[in-house]
């Protein structure tokens, strides 16, 4: 019984000590916060940017509840640093107060720089801070929005072909909706920067993120948003450096309005709608995927491969090593005796590669070689691959080179990237290819299937490839790829 009385007494004392009465009429916000700190016996550090007045009269509130009410509908926020110490200021302030408010986290970019995604980062300018041309972004906050920003940046930090659609749907107050209309002279959909400036300035208090999306595509994407019996459907078509949004508003499955807007890839489109009795601001942006690595943008770029190859046909093992510098690759392979090959490839265009290989054969005095051109077309997660080349050989006799034309070949196949960036597994590809060759007397058709596994461990890639043909000849290739 004594313990219960003690607990109740402590509770009543805590309520009496840590609750405050507020009675402010047209008092400056800074003065009101200082009065609150004195009455509650706590320390509240107020940023120099805090301005405005407050009218509030309530009883028996905690410090946190009092600050919530006093800062409601302002651009300011507070954070409890430790017991008895608070800071109040603006999230986008240049003062040190913002450091306590925002809880920054540095996101390192692996393949791109901030220049590649600055249009996306500008959408989140209150939460994402960056320096142009660097390989890191600082994200502030620990809420849902901050988590989605971090997730989207990591998705953007990938190499590939095609486009990325990023969209955000915010619920806004009627006053901010009207303010946006006034800023843009009632011109909708909105394509003016002053809209986003308005939202950034008043982001925390005036908007609520309802939906966010990240879509990878080649030339088309769509998304929708539903509220009660109303819906908005967005269809995005991409044509080279431009994209167009067709917006369809529906009420009880009946189309009530159609809107169109277009912009350059990399530019933002804003639109505002009133549906289901609520106001919404929707921003979209289409960005082209980055094909070039961050390492390509720097002065130093080098990859080194080293591994083993096994061919069941002939039961042969071989070793190989290669080096890639500035998108040109050279590889040497040998079977530990007299058989060797030298392979060279280099990018001709973004999706086209030139290849040259010189090699010899067992019990054959000729030196063989082929020259080919290969290209690929991505339809994520699929890719079409093709290669055409000519085969020739030559002999050395009495210090003379005697060339021969041996034929040509054509390869065509389909690759399916069915696993991508799953834990330490960077990719798993499955594919098939048909090799059609002609040796000046006969045609040969050889189908192949393969699986390729790429794992990333300690900044090195471990690649395992299994390939087999219609005669069940198996080829195993395993190697490590190290980047410098």
Q: Return the pLDDT at 344.
A: 92
pLDDT digits (tens, 9 = 90+) for 61-71: 888 888 888 88
pLDDT greater at residue 8 or residue 431: 431
CA angle (247 as vertex; 242, 248 as ends), nearest 5: 155
DSSP, collapsed to helix, strand or coil, labels residue 184 as coil
Look at residue 294 and tell me if it is in a domain: no
Does one domain contain both 438 and 454?
yes
Domain count, the chain: 3
167 and 213 Cβ atoms separated by less than 8 Å: yes
Look at residue 293 and tell me if it is in a domain: no
Tokens, residue 193: 């920067």
Element at 63 (helix H, strand E): helix 63-71
Does one domain contain both 72 and 199?
no
DSSP lists the bridge partners of residue 290 as 159
**pTM of the predicted protein model:** 0.42
Sequence-distant (6+) residues with CB within 8 A of 8 are none
Does one domain contain both 183 and 211?
yes
Which of 254, 288, 322 delimits the end of a domain?
Answer: 288
Q: Return the pLDDT at 303.
A: 83
Q: Work out the pLDDT band at 11, boundaries 50, 70, 90.
A: very low
Look at residue 451 and tell me if it is in a domain: yes
Does one domain contain both 131 and 28?
no
The position carrying tokens 């054969």 is 361
pLDDT digits (tens, 9 = 90+) for 369-424: 999 999 888 776 788 889 999 999 888 777 778 888 899 999 999 999 888 777 78
Q: Return the pLDDT at 194.
A: 47
Sequence-distant (6+) residues with CB within 8 A of 18 are 40, 62, 63
Look at residue 70 and tell me if it is in a domain: yes
Does one domain contain both 228 and 264?
yes
Does one domain contain both 51 and 136?
no
How far apart are alpha carbons 3 and 445 in whole angstroms?
89
Does one domain contain both 456 and 346?
yes
Look at residue 263 and tell me if it is in a domain: yes
Tokens, residue 20: 């405050």
Q: Return the pLDDT at 295.
A: 46
Look at residue 253 and tell me if it is in a domain: yes
Does one domain contain both 337 and 418?
yes
CATH of the domain at 34: 3.55.50.30
Look at residue 216 and tell me if it is in a domain: yes
Sequence-distant (6+) residues with CB within 8 A of 473 are 311, 312, 313
How are beta strands 43-46 and 85-90 bridged, if at all? parallel
> Residue 116: what are its φ and ψ, rounded to 5°?
-70, -25
Q: Return the pLDDT at 107.
A: 86
pLDDT digits (tens, 9 = 90+) for 353-384: 899 999 887 777 788 899 999 988 877 678 88
Does one domain contain both 369 and 380?
yes
Does one domain contain both 144 and 80?
no
CATH of the domain at 470: 2.40.230.20
Which of 100, 134, 149 delimits the end of a domain?
Answer: 100
Q: Work out the pLDDT band at 102, boundaries 50, 70, 90.
A: low
DSSP lists the bridge partners of residue 223 as 234
pLDDT digits (tens, 9 = 90+) for 121-154: 877 776 777 777 778 888 877 667 778 888 888 8
Between the CA atoms of 207, 211, 212 and 216, what dihedral angle is there, to the nearest 10 degrees? -150
Does one domain contain both 206 and 256?
yes
Is the peptide bond preceding residue 375 cis, with omega within 30 degrees of 0?
no
Which of 56, 81, 100 delimits the end of a domain?
Answer: 100
Q: Could you tell me the residue range of the domain that residue 11 belongs to? A: 2-100
DSSP lists the bridge partners of residue 403 as 394
Does one domain contain both 59 and 113?
no
Tokens, residue 380: 């994520």
């Amino acid at each position: 019984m004594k313990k219960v009385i003690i607990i109740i007494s402590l509770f009543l004392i805590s309520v009496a000590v840590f609750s405050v009465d507020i009675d402010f009429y047209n008092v400056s916000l800074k003065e009101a916060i200082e009065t609150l700190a004195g009455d509650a016996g706590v320390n509240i550090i107020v940023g120099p940017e805090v301005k405005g007045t407050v009218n509030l009269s309530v009883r028996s509130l905690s410090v946190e509840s009092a600050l919530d009410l006093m800062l409601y509908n302002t651009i300011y926020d507070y954070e409890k640093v430790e017991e008895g110490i608070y800071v109040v200021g603006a999230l986008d302030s240049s003062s040190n107060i913002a450091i306590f408010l925002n809880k920054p986290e540095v996101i390192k970019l692996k393949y791109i720089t901030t220049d590649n995604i600055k249009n996306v980062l500008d959408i989140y300018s209150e939460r994402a801070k960056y320096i142009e041309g660097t390989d890191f972004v600082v994200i502030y906050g620990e809420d849902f929005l901050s988590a989605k920003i971090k997730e989207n940046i990591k998705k953007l930090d990938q190499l590939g072909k095609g486009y990325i659609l990023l969209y955000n749907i915010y619920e806004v107050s009627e006053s901010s909706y009207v303010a946006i209309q006034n800023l843009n002279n009632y011109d909708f959909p909105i394509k003016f920067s002053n809209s986003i400036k308005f939202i950034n300035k008043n982001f925390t208090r005036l908007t609520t993120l309802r939906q966010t999306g990240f879509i990878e595509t080649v030339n088309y994407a769509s998304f929708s948003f539903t509220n009660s019996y109303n819906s908005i459907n967005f269809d995005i078509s991409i044509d080279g450096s431009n994209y167009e949004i067709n917006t369809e508003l529906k009420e009880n499955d009946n189309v009530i309005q159609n809107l169109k807007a277009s912009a350059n890839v990399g530019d933002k489109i804003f639109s505002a709608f009133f549906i289901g009795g609520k106001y919404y601001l929707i921003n979209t942006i289409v960005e082209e995927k980055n094909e070039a690595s961050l390492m390509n943008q720097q002065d130093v770029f080098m990859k080194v491969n080293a591994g083993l190859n096994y061919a069941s046909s002939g039961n042969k093992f071989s070793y190989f090593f290669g080096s890639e510098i500035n998108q040109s690759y050279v590889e040497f392979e040998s079977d530990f005796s007299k058989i060797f090959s030298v392979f060279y490839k280099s990018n001709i265009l973004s999706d086209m590669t030139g290849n040259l290989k010189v090699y010899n054969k067992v019990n054959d005095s000729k030196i063989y070689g082929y020259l080919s051109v290969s290209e690929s077309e991505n339809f994520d997660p699929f890719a079409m691959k093709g290669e055409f080349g000519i085969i020739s050989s030559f002999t050395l006799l009495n210090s003379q080179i005697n060339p021969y034309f041996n034929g040509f070949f054509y390869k065509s196949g389909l690759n399916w990237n069915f696993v991508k960036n799953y834990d330490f597994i960077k990719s798993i590809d499955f594919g098939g290819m048909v090799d059609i060759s002609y040796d000046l007397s006969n045609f040969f058709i050889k189908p192949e299937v393969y699986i390729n596994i790429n794992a990333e461990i300690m900044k090195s890639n471990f690649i395992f490839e299994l390939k087999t043909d219609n005669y069940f000849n198996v080829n195993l290739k395993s190697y490590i790829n190290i980047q410098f």
